[in-house]
Structure 1
């Protein structure tokens, strides 16, 4: 498996923040069961070599620093979320009851094949928020498509599937869809009004552009309206 994302500058900055010399850092890593020479740490900080996953985990623990800081990114992919929680692929696969070969394939191909139960266990293990879970398992495009159908047609029939998808109360989702449907309708009313009034082409193009931008941010707008309102546990 390839080396994880790693920022030499962030690693050095994290060590300097807590005032540890390299010798103490590798000593702390050794106490965690990972023995590496000082030269290894210096090669990581210089950018000459990137640490492995296990080395990254041990370094983060020794520096009392979150893994995403050392990776210098906000986790987005399945692998990045796993690394952020300091799981090896084998341990996470075992945690969610999935064959490790299937799990590794999901990371590599960016295609989630887990069952509903495995998906729920994955979200729990990695602490994934609904929008992160959708991105990880590749359902962001499905959300966009359902929302577009809802605002362009009869939104009530999409309440239940969208509530299930984002893990929110149907009442909350219904209120959000009603609002979005009304906002979309106003774009159409403005456009048709100017069309009937024979407004100039520039004005019609401006309204069409505003509508396109609104549709582009439709998922974010929907998630803001639902507020990640999760239903109570049964």
Structure 2
């Protein structure tokens, strides 16, 4: 369906005055439709709202992809709609452990998806960076508080990440173009490891 036809359908069926240029921007990912606009767009295109979201990352995107209203989801989490909406709009989940588990069930979130949607990836990155560069044992409990995963498994993953990072930081001997040995610089490899430490964590955990 051409952008102009989509814009016409949005106006005729839902009373939304959306230009064809805006529809094109949605298609290209240069702009995002609001919740009402997304629902209307799905209606015009005869599909589910979730089919229009290529890769949901935020709480709102996950909720809309499941075709849940704010009140519907809040009810499943045991909180008011206004309380949930404040967290969704802030991009920061602050529910308790029970509510977090309910959120993962309602939205079908993996542990990795939950952390991203909850806005806690930066916090996890800081904890993991400290764990691999110092004593990993001291970070089992802090990581366990924000990652919905068995504590014993978290301990195993942190130990492995620490070993992997420390192995990178051991200077190695390499041959230069002149055939002479020179000490390799582990700093670059270490920085690269830390820049993707969250990704390494989930990969090691098998998530």
**Preserved contact between residue 111 and residue 149 of structure 2 (Cα < 8 Å):** no
- Aligned CA distance change for structure 1 residues 53 and 138 (closer, same or farther; 3 Å): closer
1:179 aligns with 2:160: yes
SS in 1 for 2:171: helix
1:221 aligns with 2:186: no
Q: Give the structure, 1 or 2, with the largest relative contact order (CA under 8 Å, sep 6 or more).
A: 1
Comparing 81-90 with 40-49, greater Cα deviation is found at 40-49
- Aligned CA distance change for structure 1 residues 170 and 108 (closer, same or farther; 3 Å): closer
1:99 aligns with 2:80: yes
Following TM superposition, by how much is the alpha carbon of 1:67 offset from its aligned partner in structure 2, in angstroms? Answer: 2.1
**Preserved contact between residue 130 and residue 166 of structure 1 (Cα < 8 Å):** yes
- Aligned CA distance change for structure 1 residues 115 and 41 (closer, same or farther; 3 Å): same
- Deviations 1:44-63, CA, capped at 9 Å, x for gaps: 79466798746744764786
Cα separation, 1, equivalents of 2:47 and 2:19: 15
Mapping for residues 32-111 of structure 1, pairs under 5 Å: 40=14, 46=20, 53=35, 56-57=38-39, 60=42, 65-71=47-53, 73-111=54-92
Cα separation, 2, equivalents of 1:91 and 1:167: 23
- Deviations 1:138-161, CA, capped at 9 Å, x for gaps: 221222122122212222343354
In structure 2, the partner of 1:166 is: 147
1:188 aligns with 2:172: no
Gaps of 5+ in 1: 1-6, 13-21, 27-35, 229-234
Question: Which residue of 82, 107, 128 maps to 1:147?
Answer: 128
- Aligned CA distance change for structure 1 residues 151 and 54 (closer, same or farther; 3 Å): same
**Preserved contact between residue 168 and residue 226 of structure 1 (Cα < 8 Å):** no
Cα separation, 1, equivalents of 2:96 and 2:149: 20
Cα separation, 1, equivalents of 2:51 and 2:151: 37
Comparing 135-144 with 84-93, greater Cα deviation is found at 135-144
Q: TM-score, normalised by structure 2?
A: 0.71
Cα separation, 2, equivalents of 1:8 and 1:106: 36
Corresponding pairs, count = 192
**Preserved contact between residue 8 and residue 47 of structure 1 (Cα < 8 Å):** no
SS in 2 for 1:189: coil
Following TM superposition, by how much is the alpha carbon of 1:125 offset from its aligned partner in structure 2, in angstroms? Answer: 0.8
Gaps of 5+ in 2: 27-32, 175-180
**CA-based RMSD:** 3.7
In structure 2, the partner of 1:4 is: none
Structure of higher CA gyration radius? 1
